[in-house]
Structure 1
């Protein structure tokens, strides 16, 4: 009993001992060291993810023949829409579905042509696949980064708005495949899809087909996608262009 009382007395004496003082500078150093370790870990994981994405970017699209792919099709004014609809016409309609069409807010003709094309698919009698695709088709407009003749000073704000709008569209549609062929509206869309791919949010295969009007050099949109390696598959329609850009693939004429 006496031993127990002595032990309890010694414990109470220990509790009454003053705590050792901790230097504030040492705490600050420990805090900064922890932050540095966390930051280094995040950067390392991001670099590993970037290397992984770069390794798999450019490889052929592989998936089960029975699995459909949500497809986002970027249209542009002029001949871009005619070329793109020519490409879409040879796609497997039961494979690339549902299809979503995106055009610039100031482009009043491209989406109308796409709607006419989707309506034409209904002319095939007893084709249930085409009817289901039509119900799943969507038509959306997107802000342009820069209008023709707009100053570069004011285009900064419109570019930010276009990127935010493009991110909203990509998050809403969640495309697995993006098809584009040169209009400037494809840049923010592809950039947002690639960013989500880097972050591991969703993998999206970007397929770019350069316009047939580009014989000797790429368009600005094509050059950006090529140099930044944003496109998984990059096609050109002229052999000379393929020789100048060896990572591209010669597809022949699509029209």
Structure 2
């Protein structure tokens, strides 16, 4: 019984946040421009394997204005931290550290059941809220790992509470040609900018932005 109550509360919370998000977007439009007053603090969600590779390719295109960079990885991810450190050390940054790596519980493991995924996602939310509220990024940048869902929800809540407007930018993986990933379908509703890399997806999802292959 308690499990069903937890699921119902999670669904109600997400629905409520989506409604508030739509209201804020309609009311304010795109008047917020991060970086207009200086550097842009970016929270980068890195998934394991291909997701990390793609997000780091995307980070290569960002200027030095995006600093500090806060990378968030799942606590069970053993490879992404090394890739991020290698990537950052290869760039010509100042001697002062301009990036951090944080860990939160994974929302959903590969082949994990949907029922248990709800519980693990709620657990990830419990860690995501204090992390995002502490870092207060200008932008959340992600490209598909389930770990980004609770972080985007936390960023959304930051704006709803009037503490800080956080842009949610999602780049769908290049391997998604005809349909969005599950994470993409969720984030599509609450994102500020949603990029796809195939024109077929642009035709299906009118809110999305197609600029060709960008990673």
Q: Identify the TM-score tier after normalising by the shorter chain.
A: 0.7 to 0.9
- Answering whether residue 142 of structure 2 is matched by residue 180 of structure 1, we say yes
| 1:92-136 per-position Cα deviation (integer Å, ceiling 9, x unaligned) | 11x1100010111111111211111110014xxxxxxx215x612
User: Which has more helix, going by share of residues?
Assistant: 1
In the other structure, the counterpart of 1:216 is: 178
Any stretches of 5+ residues in structure 2 without a counterpart?
Answer: 1-16
Aligned to 2:88: 118
Aligned counterpart, 2:30: 59
Q: Does 1:243 align with 2:206?
A: no
User: Secondary structure of the equivalent of 1:72?
Assistant: strand
Report the structure number with the largest CA radius of gyration. 1
Give the secondary structure class of the aligned counterpart of 2:63: coil
Unaligned runs of 5+ in 1: 1-45, 123-129
- The residue number in structure 2 matching 1:233 is 193
Would you say the 8 A contact 1:178–1:207 is kept in 2? yes
Out of 114, 131, 138, the residue aligned to residue 94 of structure 2 is 131
Q: Per-residue displacement from partner, 1:178-209 (whole Å, max 9, x unpaired)? A: 11001100000001111121121211001100
Q: Secondary structure at the match of 1:103?
A: strand
Shift of 1:149: 3.4
Residue 123 of structure 2 corresponds to which residue in structure 1? 161
Compute the TM-score of the two structures, normalised by the length of structure 1.
Answer: 0.71
Q: TM-score, normalised by structure 2?
A: 0.84
CA distance in 2, matches of 1:151, 1:188: 18
The equivalent position to 1:85 in structure 2, one of 56, 65, 88, is: 56
Secondary structure in structure 1 of the residue aligned to 2:129: helix
**Equivalent residues of 2:202, 2:208 under 8 A apart:** yes
How far apart, in 1, do the equivalents of 2:74 and 2:51 lie?
12
Superposition misfits of 4+ residues, deviation over 3 angstroms:
48-52, 63-66, 149-157
